[in-house]
Amino acid sequence: MKGLRRSMLFVPGNHPGMIQNADIYGSDSIIFDLEDAVSLQEKDSARLLVKHALRKIDFGETERVVRINPLDTGCGTQDLKMMVAAGPDALMIPKATARRLIEADLMVGEIEAALGGNRQPLAFIPIIESAVAVEEINELLKASSRIVAALLGGEDLTADLGIQRTKAGDELLYARSRVAMACCACGVDAIDTPYADTMDDEGLAKDTAKGKTVGFTGKAAIHPLQIEVIHRVYAPSEAEIHEARQIIRAMKQAEREGKGAVAVDGRMVDAPIILRAEKLLQQAKAMGVHDMTDNVNGGA
Amino acid sequence: MLNNVKREIPKTIPGFGDVIPFKGVWQHMPMIHTAPVSLVPSGKGTVKKLHSIEQALDACELKDGMTVSFHHHLRNGDGVLNQVMEAIDARGLKDIHVAASSLFPVHAPLVSLMEKGTVTRITANYMLGPVAEAISNGKLTYPVVMQTHGGRARAIEVGDLSVDVAFIAAPACDLAGNLNGVEGPSACGSLGYAVPDAHYAKRVVAVTDHLVPYPANPIEISQEWVDFIVEVDSIGDPEGIVSGSTRLTRDPLGLNIARKAAQAIEASGLLVDGFSFQTGAGGVSLAVAAYVREIMRQKKIKGSFASGGITGYMVDMLEEGLFRSLLDVQCFDLQAVNSYKQNPAHQFMSASMYGNPHNRGAVVNQLDVMILGATEIDTDFNVNVTTGSTGIIMGGSGGHSDTAAGSKLAIVTTQLLRGRLPIIRDKVTTVTTPGESVDLLVTERGIAVNPRRKDLEEKLNEAGIPTTSIHQLKQMAEERAGTPDPVAFEERIVGVVEYRDGTVIDVIRQQKQHFK
């Protein structure tokens, strides 16, 4: 069920043991990292390792994303060339700006054309990690039709701003709100910055909730044990699931009866609400709430 | 001849003797006659304390070809085996049989004694380190005999393993020979594995670094079994004996497997009031305990006992009221030692009471659930915990086979791939525990039920826990990592793997030297 991005797990691209097991922790996406997790002398071997992993290993329903190196470095261009051919589901592009994304779009387009065949255009997930990127976020998200989501990079952003990154995360409030709002406006997923303390589940839960409150749809994880906490925060509540079930039932009944309009408890329901209900039930199913969602499908 | 787990076993093995092939779990249950014990009575006024180990060798009339035994409660901190063997070597004795319940890296000096012919036979339940490597490389004259914890107690009690002199490391001892493991600088807790040696050896020497006034309190092994006492400067290095505390793992893979195992336990229907449980001290095992603990709390389940080697984690569960009692053959950490010393619900058990298949009923037979590890497991669910991926001995049953046979639900938890090595094989390199006694395999990519346990598979599926076949799990691993070549061996047999009932379940051959 590719499409949900509640959790995106970073996996070092130079660690075969972690790569081969990357899909068992239940994250919606895996991000094979060629950038920060990999030292300069291991860049080429990591690139080869990730290429072979993408080609050889079946990661099931988990979305496969590769974080390449910045495109203004030699490594970044080499990553991009090899990865387009290896065929992940998306490229994560660090230090993103509108201009760099336009360039990347052109480069990937050329490589895809040269490779030929009937290829799905490779998706982009830019990382918003500079003041410039935050301020030009709307332009940036429109720079390429390949963009499906954006990740806020809190560490690099605070470094750019010359301010301290704190556990409470108040310094990110503006950037978080702005990025989440712009992503929603552009119809792409908004992925919150990872929480650095892998031993602090309570802090992670609070931080995740903070992101969800301002409109993030998911969060990056830097340790597999963070996934469950993130999913718990992004899990739909029972009341939400109940409401979504009612909406879908009403929609299916309206379809059977040939009615154009759908009403639940006398309230008209339009397409975006149905879409949200479907997405929510999809989430519920991903969380293992089988009975409810199965009932909806089975009862139709 | 082929035994019950389809292993080719010779009828006779030089240095071991005639072989009874493994016939199946609980199939070899002969009428038992325990070995007679010869002893020298100690009359009134007898002084048991001797000046030195050398004097003890004289007093015990130790000769070429005799068997000396040791327990492993001091683990990798043990100083007694090396001190005794050094004294034996100094007087030029030859052809000595070392019957140690386990051997650790600290026992490396044995290697040169093997090379010199001082030691020509070894019997142990578990071995790790230079001695195990040397044996795998053919340096011991006769094949090592690998037993189980319960099997060793059986062998000693019936005389299959006849001990001439037992040297018992005693953390605390009085002058009459009453000893315990809870006091002194080398306190290690329960001395369960030393009991058969004390009761059946022809001579028993307590070696201590902590003499206490008569009578020692508590008394774990009592004075009527002890011939001599030797005081030495130190019996061990506390650093290597018990760990300070046992910490729960944060390894996500281990936790993933542990959670699945706990869910399977819950679905099995065994996790109800009176539940009994055993698990090792490793990361995944303890994590299973942590998830089980959570379920017991939520459902307000009060278990009967936890057993085996005891960790602080089990002590916490006892103190929380989740178990009524602990049955302790060995303490793994200081918290367990302190609890064993102070809490009457934390009870002693001997190796025989723990796992001997040929006594009048062992604790393992009362176990509901046992969590086991595996170096390899094959598609018949046979488990190897004796040899590693290169064929070298690096372990042994310990209580693995005993608890698998006795428990109602024996669960093997393992990663599907360790490093890049698939753990599920067509045939394990060495069979330690027969698949007949293994019910469930839990890995990060799925759970496989032994086809013998259709009832269990139904229960898991009813609870919504998906199961798969062990063949499918094997295929998943091999799709990622390929199929490993079998390990190459020389013809020579360097080890005999005894099942707990004394039959032979497998042999270990000499490791092939690829880089001579």
pLDDT digits (tens, 9 = 90+) for B260-285: 999 999 999 999 999 999 998 888 99
Contact B252 A17 (CB under 8 A): no
Rounded to an integer, what distance in angstroms lies between the CA atom of residue B20 and that of residue B10? Answer: 10
In this prediction, residue A290 carries a pLDDT of 46
Choose the final residue of a domain: B242, B275, B304.
B242
Q: Within this chain, do residues B262 and B232 fall inside the same structural domain, yes or no? A: no
Determine, yes or no, domain membership for B21.
Answer: no
User: What pLDDT, on a 0 to 100 scale, did the predictor assign at position B246?
Assistant: 65
Is A156 annotated in some ligand binding site? yes
Contacts of B225 (CB under 8 A, 6+ apart): B177, B198, B199, B204
- The whole-angstrom distance between B478's CA and the closest CA on chain A is 11
Tell me, yes or no, whether B83 and B214 share the same domain.
yes
Boundary-marking domain end, from B200, B223, B242: B242
Amino acid identity of B8? E
* Mean pLDDT of the region B190-213: 98
The number of folded domains in chain B is: 2
Specify if B40 maps to a domain.
no
Looking at residue A283, its pLDDT comes to 75
Whether residues B88 and B170 share a domain: the answer is: yes
Rounded Cα distance, B459 and B445, in Å: 19
Q: Are B480 and A24 within 8 A, CB to CB?
A: no
B505 has which bridge partners? none
The answer to whether the CB atoms of A24 and B445 lie below 8 A apart is yes
Does the distance separating the beta carbons of A199 and B481 come in below 8 Å?
Answer: no
CATH number where B315 lies:
3.40.1080.10
Amino acid letter for position B483: T
The shortest C-alpha distance from A198 to chain B (Å) reads 10
Is residue B4 in a domain? no
Provide the mean pLDDT of chain B.
96
B194 and B331 within one domain: no
Percent over 90 (pLDDT), chain B:
92
| Structural domain harbouring B283 | 252-487
Cβ-Cβ contacts under 8 Å between A and B: the total is 30
Return the residue in A7, A15, A20 with the most chain B beta carbons within 10 A, the one to mutate for interface testing: A20
Measured over the CA atoms of residue A78, residue A79, residue A83 and residue A84, the dihedral's sign is: negative
B384 pLDDT more than 90? yes
Range name among A24-38, B124-138, B196-210, B478-492 with the lowest pLDDT average? B478-492
- The three-state DSSP-derived secondary structure of B443-509 is ECCEEEECCCCHHHHHHHHHCCCCCECHHHHHHHHHHHHCCCCCCCEEEEEEEEEECCCCCEEEEEE
Q: Does A60 touch chain B (CB under 8 A)?
A: no
Q: What percent of chain B has pLDDT over 70?
A: 99
Interchain CB distance below 8 Å, A24 and B420? no
ipTM greater than 0.85, yes or no?
Answer: no
3-state secondary structure of A218: strand
Residues 6+ apart with CB under 8 A from B345: B318, B324, B325, B326
Same structural domain for residues B216 and B263? no
Identify which of B250, B256, B481 has the shortest CB distance to residue A24. Answer: B256
Query: What pLDDT is stored for residue A291 in this prediction?
Result: 45
Q: Is the pLDDT of residue B399 over 60?
A: yes
Q: A225–B480: do the CB atoms touch at under 8 Å? A: no
One domain, residues B230 and B174:
yes
Same domain, B294 and B381: yes
For residue B137, the one-letter residue type is N
Residues of B in contact with A21 (CB under 8 A): 253, 417, 444
Helix (H) or strand (E) holding B309: strand B303-310
Whether B207 has a pLDDT exceeding 80, the answer reads yes
Cross-chain residue pair B444–A21, CB shorter than 8 Å: yes
Question: CA B267 to CA B442: how far, in whole Å?
Answer: 14
Query: Looking at residue A289, what is its pLDDT?
Result: 60
Cα distance between residue B295 and residue B264, in whole Å: 12
In a domain, B41, yes or no: no
* Radius of gyration of the CA atoms of chain B, in A: 22
Same domain as B256, residue B219: no
Start-to-end Cα distance in chain B: 32
Q: Which residue of B has its CA nearest to A55?
A: B480
Cα–Cα distance, A133 to A86 (Å, whole number):
28
Q: Is residue B366 a part of any domain in this protein?
A: yes
Predicted local distance difference test score (pLDDT) of residue A288: 64
DSSP assignments along A48-72, one per residue: HHHHHHHHH---TTSEEEEEPPPTT
DSSP code for B333: B
Per-residue pLDDT tens over the stretch A170-225: 999 999 999 999 999 999 999 999 999 999 999 999 999 999 999 999 999 999 99
| B136 in any annotated domain | yes
B213: amino acid identity, one letter: P
Residues 6+ apart with CB under 8 A from B217: B180
Whether residue B154 lies inside any domain: the answer is: yes
Domain identity same for B85 and B162 = yes
Task: Using alpha carbons, list the distances in angstroms from residue B344 to B238, B319, B362, B502.
Answer: 25, 12, 21, 34
User: Are residues B118 and B81 both part of a single domain?
Assistant: yes
Domain membership of residue B364 (yes or no) is yes
Residues B279 and B202 in one domain: no
Strand partners, B509: B493
Q: Do B444 and A58 touch (CB under 8 A)?
A: no
How would you write the pLDDT of chain A (300 residues) with one tens digit per residue?
346 899 999 999 999 999 999 999 999 999 999 999 999 999 999 999 999 999 999 999 899 999 999 999 989 999 999 999 999 999 999 999 999 999 999 999 999 999 988 888 999 999 999 999 999 999 999 999 999 999 999 999 999 999 999 999 999 999 999 999 999 999 999 999 999 999 999 999 999 999 999 999 999 999 999 999 999 999 888 888 888 999 999 888 888 888 877 888 888 888 878 888 887 888 787 666 644 444 443 332
Q: Tell me which residue has tokens 């990872």.
A: A194
Has A119 been labeled as part of a binding site? Answer: no
* A63 is annotated as contributing to ligand binding: no
Q: Would you state the pLDDT for residue A298?
A: 32
Mark which residues 169-228 of A lie under 8 Å from B by CB. Answer: 198-199, 223-225
B171 exposure class (CB count in 10 Å sphere: 0-12, 13-18, 19+): buried
One domain, residues B140 and B120: yes
What does the pLDDT look like over B496-515, one tens digit per residue? 999 999 999 999 999 987 65
Chain B hits for A57, Cβ within 8 Å? 479-480
